[in-house]
């Protein structure tokens, strides 16, 4: 946004500080997890290269490893390749799926090359079957739920529970609560029944303190301080009224002098100038002129007396609960109405500071503890928000949860392949860091798998960062190979949507244009009436 007069300023990521004041102004190149606004993506890449100390002037002479969404649209990859090759002149690019990089990083000795990857991030949750080290893209499934929807749901729950703290219950605080206080229940209904017990509630409820001001409502101030404050306000009011009277006196005196000058023209017998002056003053007769002169003379004398009286009566009695307002001009004067309005503007200042009856200081105490009033009690909300990835119907989404989607994916394979996949169920992504998620997935698998069958569930060592670590491991291992890398020559020959597959990449599905039907043979020329006569001969 604009800052001062220096034009627009762009801030990225943590440079923003608190995002709450700018929540509805933030811009992102992503639609869910697919980049669609490449002009914003260019700003992000400039920021990244600047922070890394990589010069982007002319070209970026470094290979780039970039993550992309599962089954990324070809158009999105084409625009990203065009940006990297045309704008930054990079030598080569490799695309991969973040959850598969995490799977690649966490592989251990004797780990099977096949498995079922459950990746849950900020916007989406994916179920990805991996067979013999390669992604089976035909049977991937996506659930359009992630940490963002859980934070919004938690915000709605707490705003309904604490309507007095509506503005303080922000998305940033809800994300903090999700990370630090939420957990996944092994049995959701049974866990809710436990929370109905008062002892269980007292032992497991979490309290979160919201910021608040120590200034109490209706705080008591000594009566001497109040009187001094009222006296200062009255002095300011008197100074304002005195200034208004002086301005009014000056204007009235100037107008009176003008009218007296016109009257002198009448007395001197200069009738033409007198009638012209009357027209300018919008008057009809000498009687009307005399009436205006009398009124202005009276107003000027009254104003002078009030100015003299205000200079004499400087001391103001402030002992009474309601201070006396200074004398006002008669209602017949237009300027006196302005004085009345000016005093009415200051009346709320006196009303807020005036107690009806003077009470001792100790008698006015707050009826509740403000610190406790600004506390959030997190009870069943700790399990209700993260439960939406297993039961999307809680927020009105007509989708299947993780357990149902996992069973649907497994049923698309033979029993032998199912047994191979469930031996390595791998959880990754920031939305899989809830305590109890691994146990919940094991419980769901136990219910859907045949009797006495075996399975194993593994959680990524660092669910948030393992995608980066996996991409780093892959780049170091394949740096000097051609496998997985798209060179500039490949980009120019095969287009921006081209992808070289590797162990952590999507499956490349090229664009197949429909074949055009062969043109029908041209009809023979008609025997008569068409063509050139010489050709017919």
Residue 311 pLDDT greater than 80, yes or no: no
Q: Are 100 and 505 in contact (CB under 8 A)?
A: yes
- pLDDT tens for residues 389-424? 999 999 999 999 999 999 999 999 999 999 999 999
Classified as helix, coil or strand, 464 is coil
Structure-block tokens of residue 477: 């291992």
The answer to whether residues 151 and 198 belong to one domain is: yes
Residue 531 domain flag: no
The answer to whether residues 193 and 258 belong to one domain is: no
How many angstroms separate the Cα of 69 from the Cα of each of 114, 325, 507?
Answer: 20, 73, 12
CA–CA gap between residue 347 and residue 237 (Å, rounded): 10
pLDDT greater at residue 310 or residue 100: 100
Residue 262 domain flag: yes
Structure-block tokens of residue 215: 């200034």
Please, which pLDDT band fits residue 319 given cuts at 50, 70 and 90?
very low
pLDDT greater at residue 174 or residue 522: 174
Residue 161 domain flag: yes
353 closest CA partner among 214, 215, 220: 220
Report the share of the chain in percent with pLDDT over 90.
52
The answer to whether residues 232 and 195 belong to one domain is: no
Residue 290 pLDDT greater than 90, yes or no: no
pLDDT value, residue 15? 83
DSSP 396: T
CA–CA gap between residue 524 and residue 537 (Å, rounded): 15
The answer to whether residues 237 and 198 belong to one domain is: no
Residue 214 pLDDT greater than 80, yes or no: no
- pLDDT tens for residues 233-251? 888 888 888 888 888 888 8
pLDDT value, residue 4? 54
pLDDT value, residue 350? 43
DSSP 8: B
CA–CA gap between residue 228 and residue 370 (Å, rounded): 29
Mean pLDDT of 340-361: 47
Q: Residue 188: give its domain's CATH number.
A: 3.90.640.10
The domain boundary residue, chosen from 388, 421, 440: 388
DSSP 242: H
The answer to whether residues 231 and 210 belong to one domain is: no
Report the share of the chain in percent with pLDDT over 70.
81
Number of domains the chain is built from: 2
Residue 343 pLDDT greater than 60, yes or no: no
Q: CB atoms < 10 A from the CB of 198, how many?
A: 8
Residue 358 domain flag: no
The answer to whether residues 246 and 269 belong to one domain is: yes
Average pLDDT, the chain: 83
Q: C-alpha dihedral over 102, 103, 104, 110, to 10 degrees?
A: 140
Residue 374 domain flag: yes
Residue 307 domain flag: yes
Mean pLDDT of 287-296: 84
The answer to whether residues 277 and 237 belong to one domain is: yes
> In 124-166, where does DSSP find H-type helix?
147-161
The domain boundary residue, chosen from 291, 312, 333: 312
The answer to whether residues 236 and 208 belong to one domain is: no
Given 3-state DSSP classes, what are the helix, strand and coil percentages for the chain, each rounded to the nearest 5?
50, 10, 40
The answer to whether residues 194 and 236 belong to one domain is: no
Residue 394 domain flag: no
Global confidence as pTM:
0.68
pLDDT greater at residue 59 or residue 94: 94
- pLDDT tens for residues 85-128? 999 999 999 999 999 999 999 987 667 789 999 999 999 999 99
The domain boundary residue, chosen from 264, 292, 312: 312
pLDDT value, residue 45? 92
pLDDT value, residue 306? 80
The answer to whether residues 247 and 302 belong to one domain is: yes
> Which residue segment(s) compose the domain that 285 sits in?
226-312
Residue 104 domain flag: no
Structure-block tokens of residue 179: 């990370």
CA–CA gap between residue 349 and residue 352 (Å, rounded): 6
Classified as helix, coil or strand, 94 is strand
């Amino acid at each position: 946004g604009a800052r001062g007069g220096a034009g627009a300023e762009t801030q990225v990521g943590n440079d923003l500080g608190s995002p709450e004041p700018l929540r509805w102004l933030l811009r992102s190149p992503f639609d869910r997890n697919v980049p669609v606004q490449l002009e914003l993506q260019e700003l992000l890449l400039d920021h990244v290269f600047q922070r890394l100390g990589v010069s982007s002037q002319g070209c970026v002479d470094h290979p780039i490893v970039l993550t992309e969404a599962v089954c990324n649209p070809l158009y999105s990859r084409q625009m990203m390749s065009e940006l990297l090759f045309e704008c930054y002149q990079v030598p080569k690019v490799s695309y991969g799926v973040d959850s598969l990089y995490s799977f690649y990083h966490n592989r251990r000795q004797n780990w099977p090359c096949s498995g079922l990857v459950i990746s849950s991030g900020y916007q989406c949750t994916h179920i990805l079957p991996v067979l013999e080290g390669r992604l089976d893209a035909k049977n991937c499934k996506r659930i359009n739920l992630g940490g963002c929807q859980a934070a919004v749901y938690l915000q709605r729950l707490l705003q309904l529970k604490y309507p007095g703290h509506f503005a303080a219950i922000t998305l940033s605080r809800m994300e903090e609560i999700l990370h630090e206080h939420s957990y996944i229940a092994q049995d959701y209904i049974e866990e809710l029944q436990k929370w109905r017990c008062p002892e269980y509630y007292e032992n497991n409820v979490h309290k979160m303190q919201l910021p608040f001001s120590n200034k109490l409502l209706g705080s008591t101030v000594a009566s001497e301080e109040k009187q001094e404050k009222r006296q200062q306000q009255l002095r300011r009011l008197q100074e304002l009224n005195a200034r208004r009277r002086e301005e009014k006196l000056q204007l009235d005196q100037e107008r009176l002098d003008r009218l007296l000058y016109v009257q002198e023209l009448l007395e001197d017998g200069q009738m033409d100038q007198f009638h012209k002056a009357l027209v300018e003053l919008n008057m009809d007769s000498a009687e009307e002129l005399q009436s205006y002169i009398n009124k202005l003379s009276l107003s000027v004398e009254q104003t002078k007396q009030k100015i003299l009286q205000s200079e004499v009566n400087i001391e103001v009695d402030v002992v009474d609960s309601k201070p006396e307002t200074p004398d006002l001009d008669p209602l017949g004067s237009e300027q006196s109405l302005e004085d009345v309005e000016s005093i009415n503007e200051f009346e709320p200042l006196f009303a807020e500071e005036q107690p009806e009856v003077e009470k001792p200081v100790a008698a006015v105490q707050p009826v509740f503890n403000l610190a406790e009033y600004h506390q959030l009690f997190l009870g069943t909300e700790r399990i209700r928000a993260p439960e939406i990835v297993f039961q999307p119907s809680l927020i009105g989404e007509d989708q299947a949860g993780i357990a149902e989607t996992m069973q649907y994916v497994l049923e698309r394979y033979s029993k032998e392949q199912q047994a191979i996949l469930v031996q390595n169920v791998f959880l990754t992504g920031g939305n899989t860091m809830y305590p109890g998620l691994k146990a919940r997935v094991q419980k769901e698998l136990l219910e859907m798998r045949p009797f006495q069958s075996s399975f194993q569930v593994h959680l990524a060592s660092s669910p948030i960062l393992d995608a980066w670590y996996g991409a780093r491991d892959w780049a170091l291992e394949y740096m000097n190979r051609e496998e997985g890398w798209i060179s500039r020559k490949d980009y120019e020959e095969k287009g921006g949507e081209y992808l070289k597959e590797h162990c952590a990449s999507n499956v490349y599905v090229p664009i197949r244009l429909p074949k055009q039907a062969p043109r029908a043979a041209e009809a023979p020329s008609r025997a008569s009436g068409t063509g050139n006569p010489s050709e017919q001969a």
